[in-house]
Amino acid sequence: MNVQTERVWREMWQQFGRMLRVEDGLVNLGRPGHTAEGSQVLEAHDGRSTAAYYAIGTALGVLEETQGLQILQSLADLQITDKTSSYYGAFRWYREETRVNDSNAAFFILMPLVVLRLYLEEKVPATHRELLDRMLDQGADWFEHELEEAILYYSNKIVSDGALLLAISKIRSLPHHYQAGVAFFERWMDYTCCRGWGWGENISLVYIQIIMNALQIAKVSLHAEDQGLLERIRTVMDGLVDYVRFHEGYEFVPAIRSYNVQGELHPSSLMWRLAGMETRLSLEAETGGGLWNGLSYLLFEEKLWQEKTALKLPVGRSRTERIMDSSYAYTWVGVTGRIGSVNRFPVIAGSYQWPTWGLAWQSYPVSLAVEGHQVSYLRWYANTGESVRTHPAAYQKAYLGPALFQETWYPDTQLRSIQENNAVLAVRSMSQIHNQVSELSDEWVVNRWTGEPGTGLGADGREWTILQYPQSAVLIAPLLGIAYGELARQMPALHLVMDGDTLRLRQVLYAGESVLLQQPRLESGWAIYYADGMSSLSEATAFAARLRLVESSYKDGEVPRETYMEIRSATLFEGDRKLAELILDPHKIESGEE
């Protein structure tokens, strides 16, 4: 540990560590936990923060030896030690749990202990090693179990499990486990290079940091004879850092697995410094006010303390980032803002929503950031008659109940989009809906809106809503859609609603009595244009007058098609110049071909 890392860790300890309330060897969070069982108690005793408390306190020499041993014993009590259990070697996240509610607890609890042993072995008292070794050995069995049927599409989880298996095998000299770890990483690298990143954590600032931590642990745990694998891992890490650098301190647009429902422009992350940026983030901002995230200062200490060179990225740049198979994220960056979209969401089948998990509540497949203001985005809105549910939604509201509807039958919800520079065309659909609601809408959400929306008529007579900013404008128009009770595509109304300081542009697919909606297909569509440098409403209105949307819906005669299953196309023109064109076939979407 170099002097800079030690200084930061001591500062962390003063700000966060010594303020923690440790009771019988575990940190009392002072609030409920995040799991199904942990959420039912007033104050949960947490393994993750306790493990970080132990690791950093031990490294700094501020824990008494007996106190550290008590903490380790309390952590060991969270581990499943019954060899007949399918969870042998895993951990409960909280003392208050009676079972494993979250299989990731093993990684989050053991990582601080592994990092301590891997980097600062000499700091660990001899009296602690037997208990630590037992936890690590049992943990190795759990991680190998998880890798036997690896969830390759769940990048941050499975890479973390693999990294800790390699690290424990190095610390404990376990050749069988080491070979299992190497075999996993070879398989994961082949999958990631050939197909992509599964459900899309490579466009998540939050989970890129966790993946980077894991890959760094894997790198330093590999033997010299596995230099080829190390180079492949380094290449993946360089690619992640380059993607972070492209966004230069702004929230990713688009984003998968973000928790930014308030549309903050500049999310805090240590990744910005890892990407070579000079930042003025506080220690609390970089770590989220917790010790666990501070482990990254040790993992990347050489890179973090290097002298930074000023980044000069070109303005008017764009980037296409492969997510999985034929699913891509596209981002365009201008002078005053940036706009991005995923061409298909969910990017892999089966990941949209389930009763207890799913990515829809924490993903922003179409979003737009205006410098000095906010990130705005598309959002599904459902009033179930008992509660309002949205995709995306706040963590506190959706983590334990992430589905958009209250039934366990869910429609197939899809997005298809095309983006050319700063123009996006997007169609969102729900197939085979069979759910109870009093309202279902698709919305464009703008937090902290302070302006006055304007309107302008396009060259084809279509009305565009204009969101005028000081140095730019956002022009939005609905595409043809299928509302409840309709079979053919029709032009929807766009309703503007102010909810406090949040502006919502709404396409209402159903509103009325709470009923069971039963329909084979619903659709909403959006045309969004970011006019960079357009500083007046009159200029934006004049520009809208040059816009023209050409839409059609047709049968191809090749397969049977009901009206709602007709192929649809939408093309956006400025005068005679084509800005973007989207063509989609509902049959191919529902069959998974497109």
> pLDDT by residue (tens digit) across 412-466?
999 999 999 999 999 999 999 999 999 999 999 999 999 889 999 999 999 999 9
Reported as a pLDDT band with limits 50, 70 and 90, residue 58 is: very high
Cα 323 to Cα 308: distance, rounded to the nearest angstrom: 29
What is the Cα Rg of the chain in Å? 26
pLDDT for position 556: 94
Question: Which of these ranges, 384-388, 445-449, 466-470, 520-524, has the smallest mean pLDDT?
Answer: 384-388
Q: Which of 124, 139, 131 is nearest to 181 (CA)?
A: 139
Mean of the pLDDT values across residues 105-133?
97
CA atoms within 13 A on the CB side of 69: 9
CB count in 10 Å sphere of residue 338 = 26
pLDDT reading at 94 higher than 90: yes
Question: Mean pLDDT lowest for which of 214-228, 308-322, 479-493, 505-519?
Answer: 308-322
Mean pLDDT to the nearest integer, 204-229 = 97
Residue 307 has pLDDT above 80, yes or no: no
- The stretch 296-315 carries a mean pLDDT of 86
Q: What contacts 334, CB < 8 A, 6 or more positions away?
A: 315, 316, 422, 472, 530, 532, 533
Specify which residues 435 forms β-bridges with: 517
* Structure-model confidence comparison of residues 376 and 408, the more confident one: 376
Q: How far apart are CA 100 and CA 357, in angstroms?
A: 16
What's the full length of the chain, in residues?
594
Does the bond joining 346 to the residue before it have cis omega, within 30 degrees of 0? yes
pLDDT band per the 50, 70, 90 thresholds, residue 311: confident
Phi, psi of 150 (to 5 degrees): -60, 135
Alpha helices in 195-294 (DSSP H): 205-221, 227-247, 271-274, 283-287
Res. 309 pLDDT band, cuts 50 70 90: confident
For 459-510, the DSSP string reads TTS-EEEEEE-SSEEEEEEEEEEE-TT-SS-BPPP-EEEEETTEEEEEEEEE
The amino acid at residue 359 is L
Token pair, residue 418, equals 């095309």
Task: Tell whether the model's pLDDT for residue 572 goes beyond 90.
Answer: yes
Return mean pLDDT, the chain. 96
Phi, psi of 357 (to 5 degrees): -160, 180
Interval 347-362 mean pLDDT:
94
The pLDDT assigned to 306 comes to 79
b/e burial code for range 280-315 (CB count within 10 A of at least 16 → b) = ebeeeebbeebbbbbbbbbbbbeebeeeeeeeeeee
In terms of C-beta density within 10 A (0-12 exposed, 13-18 middle, 19 or more buried), how is residue 278 classed? Answer: exposed
- DSSP, collapsed to helix, strand or coil, labels residue 150 as coil
Label residue 191 by pLDDT band (50, 70, 90): very high
Peptide bond before residue 478 is cis, with ω within 30 degrees of 0: no
pTM of full prediction above 0.75:
yes
pLDDT value, residue 385:
87
The whole-number pLDDT of residue 312 equals: 82
Does 501 have pLDDT greater than 90?
A: yes
Q: Read off the pLDDT of residues 252-290 as tens digits, 9 standing for 90 and up.
A: 999 999 999 999 999 999 999 999 998 888 999 999 999
Average pLDDT of the residues in 526-544: 97
Backbone angles phi and psi of 530, in degrees to 5: -100, 115
Across residues 528-557, what is the average pLDDT? 97
Identify the pLDDT of residue 76. Answer: 98
Q: pLDDT grade, residue 340 (50/70/90)?
A: very high
Q: In whole angstroms, what is the distance from residue 181 CA to residue 172 CA?
A: 14
